[in-house]
Amino acid sequence: MQPNLRPITRETTDVSSAPGDSNADLHRHQESVPLPHGNRADVRKLSFWYGKTQALKEVNLPVVDRKVTALIGPSGCGKSTLLRCFNRMHDLYPGNRYDGEIRLYPEDENLVAIDPGLVRLRIGMVFQKPNPFPKSIYANVAAGLEVRGIKKRSVLDERVERALRHAALWDEVKDRLNGSAYGLSGGQQQRLCIARALAPEPEMILFDEPTSALDPLATAKIEDLVQQLAGEVTILIVTHNMQQASRISDFTAFMLMGEMVEYGNTDQVFTAPEDPRTDQYITGRFG
Amino acid sequence: MSEISSAESELIGGATRQFLRRRAFWNRFAAYWLLAAALVSVLVTVGIVYVLVTESLPFFNQVSLVDFLTDTQWTPMFENARYGVMTLVSATLTVAGIALAVAIPAGLALAIYLSEYARPAVRESVKPLLELLEGVPTVVYGFFALLFVTPLLQTFIPGLAGFNMLAPGLVMGIMILPYTASVSEDAMRAVPMGLREAGYALGYSRFRVATRVVIPAALSGITAAFILGMSRAVGETMVVAIAAGQNPNFTFNPTEGAATITAYIVQMAMGDLPHGSLAYQSVFAAGFVLFLITLTFNLIGFFLRRRFREAY
């Protein structure tokens, strides 16, 4: 299946070791550093196996800096699998294997070959189901800051407020920051999770179908939010909902059975797809 | 289900109808039989409480409740008998406290290891081993405490009495460890994977996920595990009867020997006390106190467990 193209092969290590002197690395992604081709990341010939089952087949994908890239495709096409490669979530489960590269810029590192803990300090994630910790609203947002060595109360206060404002949640929760996160509605919980991901100011945020568990109103709020964030942080979003992809993304990638079928400007992919399979999918003929 | 309309019954042949009737009979029979079995255990419990209360009431007619709770002497066999139950309670709580001091850190560490670190194959082989440990007769633990742990401790604690509370406390901690570890591990494993992933996605290490995400989420279940372990330690008899001595002694000093409530009950039950005497009734009064202590712990544990089940 895989010929002799093997740049780097890695078994998942199953242990996310604590990063050592990673704090220095955290803020080296300054706005001024030029990114090649304006990309934050480049997926190159990435293959992935769950045990013996191949879920990604030599996938290529550019991720443009501070834009929204949407991954679409039918269930089981590998879009979530690809997303979870970006922060090495697969390493938590034994038996998974990566082959190929995801180049992360500006350092030009292969993020499937470096320490997963280091990767996760730089790339945040928002999950399908809102998963706040059973703690206070404040503690949830601060959760990612303490691990990065930010412990001063005044700095924490400021960063928590900024993240909550960013996530359009501040006005709703500012009077009950010490209340339980479980007292919030589903949509508010998801925005809290977005604030939690935003607080450490990551270079990229991964969204794994963030609105699939939410009602239409809450969905609209999250969509607005994603678009607002796009100017500041690189966003990769998996969505089941094609209208959502066309509304909020700048670039769209269409996947099918573990392969990348088509990638391009969202407008172009939705109005004039090059591949007949993309055309069939977006016009609703399958999937 | 068993109701069959007349229109339907005309469609059903005689054999089928007979089958349905027979099935309905056996269903009802099984239900009553199971109900009876369940009622036996309820009746036994009610009976125990009834006997404890009725037998200890005459005791409290002769010994005032204030003396019972404040006196620091427990000398039922003396000429001038005194009944200060706190003498026995102090030993009971001291031994149970030592047991918890062993079982909480070790049990938590074991539960974290099994739930967050161990590979499934390791977990599947360690858990039955723990259950095996639970099956060791307590009399074995008792002699282990008396004949192995006490002499061992005496080599570096010179003043340690032959009967002391430290050795049975430590051994009892090891005894309840499998139970507390196993219940805590169940609570930790019930924490949804999504919460762990959220922690890892923030850059947490495995240990940080365990201590900052999993333990707080499973806290009520873990607390319940230790409270139930506490109630087991309080009610445990053999280990303390063998290794802590039979001498009622109001002390919280673990190097001294002292009779616990359970040890006193065993001691009295083995002697020949005249039925109806005050000393005889004191056994029931002490038993009633023990019952109240364990009931309190069990109730707290029960409510905490229920809370943790509803948490997600």
Q: Which amino acid is at B73?
A: Q
Report the candidate in A97, A102, A121 with the shortest Cα–Cα distance to residue A48: A97
Confidence of residue B228 (pLDDT cuts 50, 70, 90): confident
Confidence of residue B216 (pLDDT cuts 50, 70, 90): confident
Tell me if B216 and A135 make a contact (CB, 8 A cut-off): yes
Please tell me what DSSP assigns to residue A104: E
Confidence of residue B6 (pLDDT cuts 50, 70, 90): low
Do the bridges between strand A53-64 and strand A39-50 make them parallel or antiparallel, or are there none, so unpaired?
A: antiparallel
Q: Which amino acid is at A255?
A: M
Among left, alpha and beta (phi > 0; psi -120 to 50; other), residue B93 is alpha
Which residues, listed in sequence order, are joined to residue A59 by a DSSP beta bridge? Answer: A46
Q: Is the CB of B119 inside 8 Å of chain A's CB atoms? A: yes
Peptide bond into A106 cis (omega under 30): yes
Confidence of residue A23 (pLDDT cuts 50, 70, 90): very low
Amino acid A138: pLDDT: 93
pLDDT at A160 over 90: yes
Confidence of residue A120 (pLDDT cuts 50, 70, 90): very high
Confidence of residue A14 (pLDDT cuts 50, 70, 90): very low
**Å between B188 CA and nearest CA of chain A:** 13
Confidence of residue B199 (pLDDT cuts 50, 70, 90): very high
User: If you average pLDDT over residues A163-187, what whole number do you get?
Assistant: 89
Domain map of chain B by residue range? 6-62, 86-309
Chain A residues touching residue B207 (CB < 8 angstroms): 18
Amino acid A253: pLDDT: 93
Q: Give the CA distances from residue B307 to residues B63, B304, B312, in Å, rounded to whole numbers and listed in that order.
A: 41, 5, 10
Chain A residues touching residue B204 (CB < 8 angstroms): 16, 147
Question: What class, spelled out in words, does domain A36-131+202-282 have in CATH?
Answer: alpha beta
Which homologous superfamily is B86-309 in?
MetI-like (1.10.3720.10)
pLDDT at A126 over 70: yes
Amino acid B78: pLDDT: 76
Confidence of residue B226 (pLDDT cuts 50, 70, 90): confident
Tell me if A127 and B206 make a contact (CB, 8 A cut-off): no
Chain segment A73-97, per-residue pLDDT in tens:
988 899 999 999 999 999 988 889 9
Interface test with B, best of A147, A205, A208 (most B CBs within 10 A): A147
Do the bridges between strand A234-238 and strand A9-11 make them parallel or antiparallel, or are there none, so unpaired?
A: unpaired
Q: What average pLDDT is seen over chain B? A: 85
User: Can you read off the two tokens belonging to residue B37?
Assistant: 């079995």
Among left, alpha and beta (phi > 0; psi -120 to 50; other), residue A64 is beta
Confidence of residue B243 (pLDDT cuts 50, 70, 90): confident
Amino acid B114: pLDDT: 92
Chain segment B53-104, per-residue pLDDT in tens:
998 888 888 888 888 888 778 887 777 778 888 888 888 989 999 999 999 9
pLDDT at B14 over 60: yes
Domain map of chain A by residue range? 36-131+202-282
Amino acid B8: pLDDT: 57
Which residues, listed in sequence order, are joined to residue A97 by a DSSP beta bridge? Answer: A11, A49
Do the bridges between strand A204-208 and strand A68-72 make them parallel or antiparallel, or are there none, so unpaired?
A: unpaired
Q: Is the CB of A45 inside 8 Å of chain B's CB atoms? A: no
**First vs last C-alpha separation in chain A:** 26
pLDDT at B268 over 90: no
Collect all residues with Cβ–Cβ distance below 8 Å to B218 and sequence separation of at least 6.
Answer: B184, B187, B188, B190, B191, B308
Cα gap B12→B206, rounded to integer Å: 63
User: If you average pLDDT over residues B31-56, what whole number do you get?
Assistant: 92
Confidence of residue B40 (pLDDT cuts 50, 70, 90): very high
Cβ(A71)–Cβ(A242) under 8 Å? no
pLDDT at A31 over 50: no
**Å between B174 CA and nearest CA of chain A:** 30
Give how far the C-alpha of residue B229 lies from the chain's centroid of Cα atoms, to the nearest Å.
5
Amino acid A123: pLDDT: 92
Confidence of residue A32 (pLDDT cuts 50, 70, 90): very low
User: If you average pLDDT over residues B7-12, what whole number do you get?
Assistant: 58
Chain segment B128-177, per-residue pLDDT in tens:
888 888 888 989 999 999 999 888 988 888 888 888 889 999 999 999 99
Residue ranges of alpha helices (H) inside chain A are 23-26, 79-86, 116-122, 137-146, 153-166, 170-173, 186-198, 216-229, 242-248, 266-271, 276-282
Chain A residues touching residue B223 (CB < 8 angstroms): none
Higher pLDDT, A36 or A134: A134
Interface test with B, best of A80, A93, A120, A236 (most B CBs within 10 A): A120
**Å between B181 CA and nearest CA of chain A:** 22
Which segment of B87-91, B206-210, B274-278, B298-302 scores lowest on mean pLDDT? B274-278
User: If you average pLDDT over residues A31-48, what whole number do you get?
Assistant: 75
